[in-house]
Amino acid sequence: MLIDPFARAISYLRVSVTDRCDFRCVYCMSENMTFLPKKELLTLEELDRLCSTFIRLGVRKLRITGGEPLVRRDIMTFFKGMRRHLEAGDLDELTLTTNGSQLERFAQDLFDAGVRRVNVSLDTLDEDKFAEVTRWGRLPQVLRGIDAALQAGLKVKINTVALKGFNEDELFSLTEWAAAKGMDLTFIEVMPMGDIGNEDRIGQYWSLQDVRTQLATRYSLSDLPDRTGGPARYVGLQETGQRIGFITPLSHNFCESCNRVRVTCTGEIYTCLGQEGSSDLRAPLRASEGDAPLEDAIRAAIALKPKGHDFDYSRQDVEGRVSRHMSHTGG
């Protein structure tokens, strides 16, 4: 097992397979992004070897992220390769977070590779607002992808970034839409990551305490003990029968139970999303055909995992800002 300095067992790995995306969401990246040269990215074979090493060291849940993971060429080769760990019982879950743009094309292939659950990032059901927040995205394409995923047998959870003045008026319509399709819905507070030009982080921030208070004006909420391996805390809505999740890195951090680390598409390991510190896994991965140097580098990185992050908007200043874009680390 991988145990960090605060006695937390690391059983959840999130791996970014690309920094590229076919959207340019305003809270995630600038419109004119400079992406990494392809030679700097881990190959699909290297990603397989890296993930397999983590699984051998005790990781039980593997989430694939980006950028948008499904825009990487031949990515299904990687998913099909990871299926062997599910079949062997060494991995409990293989899943991904996606913007949904490519789901119509890949939903059945993902199910066949052993994926049973996907998270789809979706902040609005208004087509014009969707184009505004994603800059390049098309809502009908994403909605078709969600329907294709459900038809393929995938359980879909919607992730919605709570944006003040943008989707406050859709709180109930998003909830009802997700409930009608049998989908859980998780709200996420916007995080201060990356240089996104003129966007106002503090102005975007909508506390999920307020979201919960508003939901309680229409629904009967009950706290649930459910955990899915991530930071969300859930409530049940009696009237719809669905779960609503809250990921609150700002109003209430969840660091005391953090069981996860992130690896970028270039092989950097970040043991905390909200800290700058990272370690290089690409060099030891490429330095030897054996995995001992890589295992040593992983253990050394876990030994440096901090107690928590420092995100804070309380002083009307973006404290704890992280310079890298979310697309670099993986959501």
Residue 220 lies in a domain: yes
Residue 3 lies in a domain: no
Query: Count of residues for the chain?
Result: 331
pLDDT for position 253: 56
Residue 7 lies in a domain: no
- CA distance linking residue 279 with residue 300, whole number of Å: 9
Residue 5 lies in a domain: no
Q: Which residues pair with 280 in a beta bridge?
A: 268
pLDDT for position 196: 44
Q: Which residues pair with 174 in a beta bridge?
A: none
pLDDT for position 198: 46
Of 83, 105, 106, residue with least CA distance to 94: 83
- CA distance linking residue 267 with residue 175, whole number of Å: 37
Q: Residue 128: in which H helix or E strand, if any?
A: helix 127-134
pTM of the shown model: 0.87
Of 19, 41, 40, 39, residue with least CA distance to 30: 19
Q: Kindly state the DSSP code that residue 163 receives in the 8-state scheme.
A: B
Q: In 232-329, which ranges are E strands? A: 233-237, 243-247, 260-263, 268-270, 279-280
- CA distance linking residue 168 with residue 210, whole number of Å: 10
Structurally, the chain folds into a number of domains equal to 1
Q: Which two tokens stand for residue 117?
A: 């659950």
- CA distance linking residue 192 with residue 311, whole number of Å: 7
- CA distance linking residue 94 with residue 114, whole number of Å: 7
- CA distance linking residue 170 with residue 24, whole number of Å: 21
For residue 234, how many other CB atoms are within 10 A of its CB? 18
pLDDT for position 224: 95
Q: Which residues pair with 221 in a beta bridge?
A: 237
pLDDT for position 200: 52
Residue 1 lies in a domain: no
CATH number assigned to the domain comprising residue 148: 3.20.20.70
Low-confidence residues in the chain, pLDDT < 50: 193-194, 196-198, 311-320, 322, 324
250 neighbors 205 (Cβ within 8 angstroms): yes
**Domain limits for position 213:** 12-329
Of 210, 129, 123, residue with least CA distance to 158: 123
Residue 208 lies in a domain: yes
28 neighbors 327 (Cβ within 8 angstroms): yes
Residue 2 lies in a domain: no
pLDDT for position 315: 40
pLDDT for position 310: 55
